[in-house]
A and B are shown apart, each in its own frame.
Chain A
Amino acid sequence: MRKITYKEALREALKEEMQRDSTVFLLGEDIGRYWGGAFKVTEGLAEEFGDERVRDTPISESAIIGTAVGAAITGMRPVAEIMFGDLTALAMDQIANQAAKIRYMFGGQAKCPLVIRTPFGAGVNIASHHSQSLEAWFMHVPGLYVAVPSTPYDAKGLLKTAIRGNNPVFFCEHKLLYPVEDEVPEEEYTIPFGAADVKREGADVTIFATLYMVHKALNAAKQLEKEEVDAEVVDPRTLTPLDKQAIIRSVKKTGRLVIVSEDCKTAGVSAEIAAMVAEEAVDYLDAPIKRVAEPDTPIPFSPPLEQYIIPDEKAIMKAVKKVV
């Protein structure tokens, strides 16, 4: 099968959906012909679809999302790009109070088919305002779906589903994933939301991971194999809706759970997953749940400091060894 990068997979999804449906359009800062997006995801799309449908915006995050909401509730399917995940804070009212609630508070009259794409993640030395992982903020808002693709295949299939759906989707990407290459079929496919993927089967311990952490978990699992620990890696692919059954199924099989997430530990993704398993599957656990997450600090700039706080293979292996 052919291999393409995560970035190319996203671009293909956008391109194919724009070809398929004339109501799909893109908006964001520098996504058009002059720049092609800060991470080049939308490169070439303005040339193909024109500046009206691949729309460069002023630096106005709140208005970018608000405009997308207004367009979505009146028949369009906007895909908004926020250049860095950290900058979603500027648009938080429009995301959390407007996009997410517009259907509910109007008694189901509105549908808001809106996708907000943004990259999270540390590791490229761009410090506190361009590196956070904030997925949990959006998991906490009813009315939003939260997608967290870790591979080119998942990125393409989930983005197509996001664009075709009728709910607002917060689509998390990861800076370090953009150049990652993997198999993606040329044929049409989509991936349903709420369907986890077991990225590696194993019998001894379940490692839950998302986004870039899936790759670190897989590396750790490979090394653990040498120490005769057979780890299973479960990637939820969407945090909302969450495929609880897939996680519980894996925990039933292994009896052990290590949750890996790049966001801060307190009230983060790992907290929710741990609580869910504690509430719904505690009887299947043979050891306490372990969490591998970032400490509760902003992201530092200096490479040794930054590397210190990002969860790595070593930390994952250490946590696994504590429970097996």
Chain B
Amino acid sequence: MEKQLTSKLTKDKLVEMYKRMLEIRFFEEKVFDLYAQNLVPGTIHLYLGEEAVAVGVCSALKRDDYITSTHRGHGHCIAKGAELKRTMAEILGKKTGYCKGKGGSMHIADFTIGMLGATAVVGAGLPIAVGAGLSAKLRKTDQVVACFFGEGASNQGTFHESINMASTWKLPVIFVCENNLYAMGTRQSRVMNIENIADRAVAYGIPGAVVDGNDVLAVYETTQKAVERARKGEGPTLIECKTYRHKGHSRVDPAKYRPKEEVEEWLAKDPIKRFKEKLLQTNTLTEAEFQQIEKEVLDEIEEAVKFAMESPYSAPEEALEDVYT
């Protein structure tokens, strides 16, 4: 099955997916380092460990399809095709960042690639995704919207309101629940009496799918089906990707609430390591090719950091601009 799936995708596509995952990994590791050096203002929520979700989903989208994102959004941006240097510059609060430093780590957007922005209010992106889906329907385009949110957000009222609305109106939205087991420090089992968020799909009369969120090809394949259904006008799908954060909730969180065995178990299921093994097993890429990709990505990250570090801040009085058009 896996072999078959791998062979369905071109080598270029597989390389692109692997590269994107690696970009997210190295980018986030770099952000972590910069934060430790006190070079990143505020806080950060790293996407480390969840790379297969963003890349699996976004690889099934077209450039003009939309995504909405969350406070843990760097990975979504990169997966949708945002420039590393402008993403990094935004995280450092620089004028050359996507939002001129007004958004920061939790509010990056790139409207030119359909990245409609990250909201830091948990669950707030869902109705916005529904609106983008409604807009696509009313404008009669074939665009779809992938809406990322965590399992914690599925307890917000907006989850219910949004999926009900999207289902009733048959809107082209793919609700992607990144279930990393913890909402900050609260384990899912302490606040929900169900194991699978996807089971909630039944309540809205739409398909729900549980997928291994650390298997990029599984995420891709499931998303593709949902995209196809959405483009045909058949309505939304709820996809739950089971995954895990490698780090704590935010930069200051050592995540002591997670049992050591659990962390180790998930680290062993590292999505990048698994994808690499698969690509090696199927002779899609050689070790030399992997090394070449790694080097390329590291160079890109270095370039992005250099760009961000050397960029100026916006002039202080620019704080007054962009409130209205």
Contacts and interface: CB of A to CB of B under 8 A. Distances in A.
Interface of A: 23, 25, 52-53, 57-58, 60, 62-63, 65-76, 78, 93-94, 97-98, 102-111, 142-143, 145, 165-167
A58 B128 CA distance: 16
Given A60-B161, A110-B109, A69 B131 contact: yes
B138 interface: yes
B66 interface: yes
A107 B103 contact: yes
A143 B98 CA distance: 19
Nearest to A27: B134
Given A69-B127, A70-B130, A60 B135 contact: no
A52 B119 CA distance: 28
B161 A167 contact: no
Given A57-B165, A105-B99, A108-B100, 17 more contacts: A25-B138, A58-B168, A63-B126, A66-B161, A67-B134, A70-B130, A73-B128, A76-B135, A94-B128, A103-B325, A105-B103, A106-B111, A107-B101, A107-B322, A109-B99, A110-B109, A111-B325
B132 interface: yes
A71 B141 CA distance: 13
Contacts, number: 144
Contact of A109 (B66, B111, B128, B321): B111
A70 B132 contact: yes
Interface of B: 66, 68, 97-103, 107, 109-111, 116-117, 119, 121, 124, 126-136, 138-139, 145, 157-158, 161-162, 164-165, 168, 321-325
Nearest to A72: B131
Given A70-B132, A71-B131, A103 B138 contact: no
Contacts of A97: 119, 121, 124
Contacts of A70: 68, 116, 127-135, 145
A-B pairs, 4 with minimum CB distance: A70-B131, A66-B127, A107-B99, A63-B161
B contacts with A: majority SS? mixed
A71 B324 contact: no
A63 B127 contact: yes
Q: Which of A23, A65, A94, A107 has the most CB of B within 10 A?
A: A107
Contacts of B131: 66-74, 78
B134 to A, nearest CB: 5
A40 to B, nearest CB: 24
B127 A143 contact: no
Q: Which of A62, A94, A102, A166 has the most CB of B within 10 A?
A: A62
Contacts of B121: 93, 97-98
A55 to B, nearest CB: 8
A167 to B, nearest CB: 5
Q: Which of A60, A74, A75 has the most CB of B within 10 A?
A: A74
Nearest to B143: A74
Contacts of B134: 67, 70-71, 76
B116 A65 contact: no
Given A98-B121, A103-B325, A110-B111, A66 B98 contact: no
A143 B322 CA distance: 9
B19 to A, nearest CB: 26
Given A63-B161, A103-B323, A109 B98 contact: yes
Given A93-B124, A103-B323, A103-B324, A63 B107 contact: no
Contacts of A143: 323-324
A110 B66 CA distance: 14
A105 B117 CA distance: 9
Contacts of A94: 124, 127-128
B122 to A, nearest CB: 10
A17 to B, nearest CB: 15
Contacts of B322: 103-104, 107-108
A107 B139 contact: no
Contact of A73 (B116, B168, B323): B116
Contacts of B109: 106, 109-110
Contact of A76 (B98, B128, B139, B145): B139
B109 to A, nearest CB: 4
B105 to A, nearest CB: 12
B132 A142 contact: no
A81 to B, nearest CB: 15
B132 A71 contact: yes
Given A66-B131, A94-B127, A74 B136 contact: yes
Q: Which of B116, B131, B162, B325 has the most CB of A within 10 A?
A: B131
A23 B145 CA distance: 19
Nearest to A240: B324
Q: Which of B117, B128, B321, B322 has the most CB of A within 10 A?
A: B128
A126 to B, nearest CB: 25
Contacts of A52: 138
B124 A71 contact: no
Contacts of A103: 322-325
B97 A107 contact: yes
Contact of B135 (A71, A108, A145): A71
Contacts of A167: 324-325
A76 B127 contact: no
5 contacts: A70-B129, A76-B138, A107-B103, A108-B322, A143-B324
